Amino acid sequence: MTCFWDGILQNLKEEDFQIAFKCSKQNNINFVKLLKESLNESFHDKSKDITWNGEKLTKQQIKENFEHIKDYKPESIYGGYWCSTCDPFLILVCILFRVNINHNYCGHLMKYTISNPRKTLNFKSNTGHFMAN
């Protein structure tokens, strides 16, 4: 039940990890740990650079996203992950890897946009599965 993390990793390449972290590509649990370790107060400022479906994130959204990531337990990945429509981890991936993300959820496109992206990652999901597209 690690399809969320596996889907993201499927779209990220070795080069992406070298650019973002100067490390090799990670397995799913180490990837989640790396994301959490990268979370710091600059998340609040860097989140202001993200738009979701053309809208800037509110201060409240940024605060709640930070708390969600901070409180997330990496060992819980095996029980599945409920990706939200404006997902905190997808926002963090945008920031850390300098990518745009298109997420097609049951036919509804969610667009995460950052200025000067390196590339765009595409995902699709339904009510029970998330995958690279």
The number of angstroms, rounded, from the C-alpha of 109 to the middle of its chain's C-alpha atoms is 15
| Over residues 55-64, mean pLDDT | 96
| Residues 111-133 pLDDT 10s | 999 999 999 999 999 989 999 99
How much of the chain exceeds pLDDT 70, in percent? 100
- For residue 102, the cross-strand partners are 111, 122
| Over residues 33-50, mean pLDDT | 93
Helix (H) and strand (E) counts for the chain? 6, 6
Q: What is the pairing mode between strands 50-52 and 99-105? A: unpaired
Show the domain range for 94: 3-132
**Phi and psi angles of residue 60, each rounded to the nearest 5 degrees, phi first:** -65, -45
The number of folded domains in the chain is 1
Residue 59: per-residue pLDDT = 95
Q: Are 99 and 49 in contact (CB under 8 A)?
A: no
The residue type found at 55 is E
| Residues 86-103 pLDDT 10s | 999 999 999 999 999 999
Q: Give the HSE-up count for residue 88: Cα atoms under 13 Å, Cβ half-sphere.
A: 21
